[in-house]
Amino acid sequence: MSSVNGVTRRLPDVTWCGLFEQRARRSPDRVCLVADEVPWTFHELDLWGDRLARSLQDAGASPGTVVACAMTRSVRAMLGVLAVAKAGAVHLPVDPALPAARIDAILADARPAVVLTDVARLRHRADVVLSTEAWKAELAGYAGHRPPGDVAGPAYLIYTSGSTGLPKGVLVGHRSLVNLYGELASAFFPAGRGPQRVAHGLPLVFDASWNPLLWMAGGHELHLLPDPVRADPGSYVDFVREHRLSVVEAVPAQMSALLEAGLLDGRSRPRTLLMGGEAVGRDLWAQLRGAAGVTAVNLYGPTECTVFTTACRLDDRATPSIGRPIGNTTAQVVDEHLRPVPVGEPGELVIGGSCLALGYPGRPELTADRFVTTGERRYRTGDRCRLTADGHLEWLGRLDDQVKIRGHRVEPGEVEQALLASPGVRQAVVRAEGSEPRLVAYVVLDTGSVTTLRERLRAVLPSYLLPSAVIPLDAMPLGPTGKIDRAALKPPVAVRRTIVLTSTQELVAAAFRVQLEIPAVDADSDFFDLGGHSLSAAALAARLRARGVPCSLRDVLLRRTVARLAELVPVTEKGRTP
């Protein structure tokens, strides 16, 4: 039978916040967080967390209510997570950089009792405002403690892409977080033989950002990377070396960029590398598996199963695997009727145990569909997997069209709904294409243009949901039943034309073509309109530097086109490019 169980582990009867408070009592003077180059001890963070919790309570937060935190990347964001837990409330992270319409949709669905922010443009939405200059003064008058948290209650609410066109919330409980802490404490913390310095370079709105927070609760020193640093692989590597960080976690695409930037060069290198959020390719697996003095681990888990559900050390397997279940967790590969399939046969992965989320608030039908009860409560992941003879799970792809893009879980249907809601769009289909998945939209327009359509999408969708290409068609291909034949979709044959580029422009254009995996670009081609993003922009800058062009990530962000970037290419006395 293709099932495998994690070890059974007794969980402490406490919330994740209680774990932090226990640590603060044992080691009050130890540094637990470094943010903006300012160290914070466990006692200091615990004290300010209590004071902010009282402020949230005065604003309306109470056990079980939702507190939305739209925070910049600073110590205030860390305090927000802690204070919400101390108030007994449910933490809802909101990216303040999201389009206003997206924020409105999330807040309308979650109906938070309190909105906490330190962002000027969101002050009118907030019940508690933490200003950059005076946030300590605003809280200094508060003291006192919060009611004890409900160890069986909800801890956080996080929104993912939804196929209906609206993001959907996933509610996760304290017991699941404490179970995850138990796995980290048992399998990961001992590797450093003492307190470790942990990089927090993950987006604060990722559920994976709980991993570094739980490291901190375990007595380790957490270093919050500023946004400009975490977006540039070279700066990230410099930060790791300067602060002597021993634990780094990133999505595989970013990990590849960090390795290319020299993360493992020299003696000063992290000891533990953690990857999750998307599949690890064979090349990256082999590269990290062969790295001396480094423990690399692949982490797998849907949002509904609390950050990560299975783990695999790369030195345990020669080829990519998602490994075995964590403690108090079961994994089984089943057919479409939820019957176990034989070992080695592919099927859908279903997960059970302490890791499971509480469900989708306000969506009982969806909760019942995905969280099934057949003997025990289990989550249908929608992932196609198989169990090998040695008890390891291998990920084989999705059973639906959901994809991971830069670590974000993306439903192409959500983008389709946004397109169909746009004026002038008669039909729309969105697919993930390419070896590094990118969204491509095919549209039939009654009125308007692709340019105006892109502008509308930027106003309503986060950057990771924006299509890399929007391709207008005269009509959609239809199958025998009259439905759109998605498999037949392809860009229209372009009229062959000659693209004339200077030698400097051709050097940059070649880098565009390789980085974006596209056949042709011209002088006015915009890197980001062609599907580039912050990680690939950093990789493009590195690719150009390798060709002798003094190009930084900032240059790519500001000089988005081939022609503008070509201005950076040095020219020799004979007029030749490097």
Q: What is the pLDDT of residues 133-186, one digit of tens each?
A: 554 454 454 434 444 567 888 999 999 876 556 778 999 999 999 999 999 999
DSSP letter string, 279-313: PPPHHHHHHHHT-TT-EEEEEE--GGG-S-SEEEE
Q: d(Cα 399, Cα 62) in Å, to the nearest integer?
A: 40
Secondary-structure percent of the chain, ordered helix, strand, coil, rounded to 5: 35, 25, 40
Residue in 116, 38, 24 with CA at minimum distance from that of residue 70 = 116
Q: What pLDDT, on a 0 to 100 scale, did the predictor assign at position 428?
A: 84
With tokens 């890791």, the residue in question is 355
- Side-chain-side CA neighbours of residue 36 (13 Å): 8
CA-based angle 382:387:392, to the nearest 5? 110
Domains detected in the chain: 41-151 (3.40.50.980), 411-488 (3.30.300.30), 503-566 (1.10.1200.10)
Complete edge-to-edge strand list for the sheet that includes strand 154-160: 128-129, 114-117, 66-70, 90-93, 154-160, 168-173
Q: What pLDDT, on a 0 to 100 scale, did the predictor assign at position 135?
A: 47
Strands 90-93 and 403-405: unpaired
Residue in 29, 19, 35, 72 with CA at minimum distance from that of residue 200 = 35
Q: What pLDDT, on a 0 to 100 scale, did the predictor assign at position 572?
A: 60
Kindly report the pTM of this predicted structure.
0.79
With tokens 């001890």, the residue in question is 41
User: Which two tokens mark 215?
Assistant: 């490291």
List pLDDT tens digits, range 540-553.
998 899 889 999 88
Q: What pLDDT, on a 0 to 100 scale, did the predictor assign at position 493?
A: 53
| 4 Cα distance to chain centroid | 27
How many other C-beta atoms are found inside a 10 Å radius of the C-beta of residue 14?
18
Beta strand extents in 281-424 (DSSP E only): 295-300, 310-313, 324-325, 329-334, 347-353, 371-374, 376-387, 393-398, 403-405, 408-410
Length of the chain: 578
Q: What pLDDT, on a 0 to 100 scale, did the predictor assign at position 197?
A: 97
Sign of CA dihedral 264, 539, 273, 22: positive
User: Which residues of the chain fall short of a pLDDT of 50?
Assistant: 135-136, 138-139, 141-147, 494-495, 573-575
Q: What pLDDT, on a 0 to 100 scale, did the predictor assign at position 143?
A: 39
Strand partners, 427: 444
Q: d(Cα 351, Cα 329) in Å, to the nearest integer?
A: 7
Q: d(Cα 361, Cα 348) in Å, to the nearest integer?
A: 24
Are the CB atoms for 410 and 439 separated by under 8 Å?
Answer: yes
